[in-house]
Structure 1
Amino acid sequence: MTFPVGLNRVLEPAGVLPQAAWRLDARAEIGADEVRIRVERLNLDAASFRQLATKHGGDGAAVRAEVLEIIGTRGKMHNPVTGSGGMLIGVVDEVGPESPLPVKAGDRVATLVSLTLTPLAISDGLAGWDGMGEQVPAAGHAILFGRSVVAVLPEDLAPELALAVFDVCGAPALTDRIVRSYAGAAQPVTVAVLGGAGKSGSLALTAARLAGARTVGVVVSDAERETLTAAGLADHVAVADARDPVAVSSAVVAALGAPATVTVVCVDVPGCEHGAILATASGGTVIFFSMATSFPAAALGAEGLAADVTMLVGNGYVPGHAEFALDVVRRTPAVRALFESRIAAH
């Protein structure tokens, strides 16, 4: 009997899916519909890495030790504070005879599902990682299920770049879908992206412009404003703390002349829900891509503001999202340059 959603890997508590489980079985032996990956590199999601780095005051060794403890204890990289993980790249070791995944042994791949539901074991103690950046050189193995999502790495992009793009590839694809859903509206579509200078933010901004929207990137500092302005990825760039609802709303209205049709939250700190809602026009849409989002705060905040907005969870999966994000990077040299500079900095 096969378990395409990985139920056989859940150790505790019984009856839940792997993402909700506290602990997974990360043994190397695979089932008939499973795939084993030889891990080369992890990419911790931004919210998780920020939380760990802040907790340990930037002490890389302490961050590395806690990541190892989480993986060793839980059988997956599932930050118990943020509830988030990341994704990985590696080489396919073995494919079960009943696996529906389009990979074969020897393929170099990126997993497009969260590390919070991926059985994972580390064998090298993360010795090649200083704990100071989101990308983590690693040795070990990971297990994919029949309903996992995986992509073969493109040959024209460096693995580190592809990994960074794949980590946030749901953001531009969903932004594109939502912007295009307003086609034919009486007013031009406008998009505000909170955290516009980051990985998911820069891709979301670019996707929105390619779809025909007028955009504003909201960033937290003058340095980020200079970076995003120099890249030319937004029609307007504004500085505001995303945790300050009035400042965010005022910045968006000043840039666009009215609240945004679509607001995309790509900020990896908590407390940004109300600003996003306040900055969005009646009948508009807020997309929450940040794993730091409090969904009770978003729901109750919208109610308290009498805001008629649709709020979406950016779940990281849209059909064709990996190919879409890679196409955005290939078509937009400034986006690629931003990603490459971020990778180099880490």
Structure 2
Amino acid sequence: MNAVSTPDDRVASPVGLHRVLEPTDDDITLPQTARRLDARPQLWPDEVRIAVDTLNLDAASYRQLAEKHSADGLIDGGAVRAEVLDIIATRGKMQNPVTGSGGMLIGTVEEVGPESPLGLHAGDRVATLVSLSLTPLAVTDRLERWDGLSEQVPARGHAILFGRSIAARLPDDLDPRLALMVMDVCGAPALVERVVGEYAARGVGPTVAVLGGAGKSGSLSLAAARAAGAGRTIGVVPVERERVALEVSGLADAVVLADARSPLGLSAAVETAGGPADVTVVCVDVPGCEQPAILATAQGGTLIFFSMATSFAAAALGAEGLAADVRMLIGNGFVPGHAELALSLLRDVPAVRTLFESRLAHETAGSDA
């Protein structure tokens, strides 16, 4: 391992304060809320540098970029790529300025600072389990291998992990792209397992409704809910194709078609399938689902938001305005053991793996087209 030379005399912070360039009051601005980060490759003693292989843009961010650069139903992939490049170059990180979200990445550890507590070694293949919205990042290949038509972005460059970051070694038995898709959403099934397990411990097998049940976080959440003791699972999807796929998978006891933005439509659909739900999990990447999800949840129930499109104000004020006695949780992406749980669900539940592999094949075909 090469000797580490500290870039300047700023004192390293385990949460990355020393990497904040704008605003300049870096003693109170964390990297996630900063406008610009220092993405130089030189390390402070507790940092780790990752050689980037693939970026994974979070679903809400990619949707916003794709919709912005679409005309007549066709995405201008070149324009999407150009905007992502501009964001990274301008901000020193990948943080969509509209959604505020980022994603994650996979790569190979290049260098480890002598005081790093992460337990990583040069040559380790890892996935970062912290958001790109707070990760110093630089790309060197202009993203030339990416057509802008998928969330997964082949890339060359480097990223920096702080002392208080999270990374997981990639499993040897899975395609790295498949592992990346799972780890990108691994916080969702872990929190669902915890919440459903709380009900089960009281002798209650809760009814669990997952909005976006055919997606990555949604399918894992359905599997986690069932494993944790859910009495009934309801998958909510927006289109017929997803309804068929989820019904065939068997991950949900009932599958319904509904627009998650429609208050009466969603609550009626969930009710016909056995609701209202004791636990409602929001895994869709469009705004405007807060009040419909509240109406679909039973009084005294729990509502878990996993979408980066969620508005805290709309959720809080909506619950108040509807006189809804619901516990609302914001999934923060981290639960101890979350990566291991999600990967075990992929390995142990064939239906989950089938959905993920189908999605990966579709994205790969789109990129190759």
Tell me which interval the TM-score lies in, with the shorter structure as reference length. over 0.9
The Cα of 1:152 is off from its aligned counterpart by: 0.3
Distance in 2, Cα, partners of 1:230 & 1:34: 46
Distance in 1, Cα, partners of 2:312 & 2:286: 14
Residue number in structure 2 paired with 1:107: 124
State the SS of the aligned residue for 1:91: strand
Say yes or no: does 1:255 pair with 2:273: yes
Residue number in structure 2 paired with 1:237: 255
State the SS of the aligned residue for 1:183: helix
The Cα of 1:308 is off from its aligned counterpart by: 0.5
The Cα of 1:245 is off from its aligned counterpart by: 1.0
Residue number in structure 1 paired with 2:58: 45
Distance in 1, Cα, partners of 2:263 & 2:343: 33
- 1:305-324 alignment runs, 5 A limit: 305-324=322-341
- 1:97-136 alignment runs, 5 A limit: 97-136=114-153
Identity among equivalent positions (%) equals 70
Q: Deviations over 1:294-336 (max 9, x none)?
A: 1100000000010000100100000000001001111111111
Say yes or no: does 1:54 pair with 2:54: no
Distance in 2, Cα, partners of 1:322 & 1:237: 27
Check conservation: 2:50, 2:111, Cα contact below 8 A.
yes
**Structure 1, unpaired ranges of 5+:** none
Distance in 2, Cα, partners of 1:186 & 1:277: 24
Residue number in structure 2 paired with 1:191: 208
Residue number in structure 1 paired with 2:168: 151
Residue of 38, 44, 47 corresponding to 1:25: 38
Check conservation: 2:200, 2:229, Cα contact below 8 A.
no
State the SS of the aligned residue for 1:166: helix
Distance in 2, Cα, partners of 1:151 & 1:141: 17
The Cα of 1:2 is off from its aligned counterpart by: 2.8
Residue number in structure 1 paired with 2:15: 5
Q: Deviations over 1:198-223 (max 9, x none)?
A: 00000001100111211000000111
Distance in 1, Cα, partners of 2:91 & 2:122: 27
State the SS of the aligned residue for 2:298: strand
State the TM-score, normalizing by the size of structure 1.
0.98
Residue of 241, 253, 258 corresponding to 1:223: 241
Amino acid paired to 1:11: L
Relative distance call for 1:212 and 1:187 in structure 2 (3 A) is: closer
Distance in 1, Cα, partners of 2:67 & 2:342: 30
Q: Would you say how many aligned residue pairs link Structure 1 and Structure 2?
A: 345
Check conservation: 2:243, 2:257, Cα contact below 8 A.
yes
The Cα of 1:337 is off from its aligned counterpart by: 1.2
Between stretches 246-255 and 73-82, larger displacement belongs to 246-255
Relative distance call for 1:28 and 1:212 in structure 2 (3 A) is: same
Between stretches 184-193 and 68-77, larger displacement belongs to 184-193
State the SS of the aligned residue for 1:88: strand
Distance in 1, Cα, partners of 2:119 & 2:172: 17
Distance in 2, Cα, partners of 1:84 & 1:5: 18
Amino acid paired to 2:31: P
Residue number in structure 2 paired with 1:161: 178
Say yes or no: does 1:16 pair with 2:34: no
What is the Cα-based RMSD across aligned positions, in Å?
Answer: 0.8
The Cα of 1:188 is off from its aligned counterpart by: 2.9
Distance in 2, Cα, partners of 1:48 & 1:63: 11
Say yes or no: does 1:205 pair with 2:222: yes
Residue number in structure 1 paired with 2:7: none
Distance in 2, Cα, partners of 1:186 & 1:279: 22
Distance in 2, Cα, partners of 1:41 & 1:337: 22
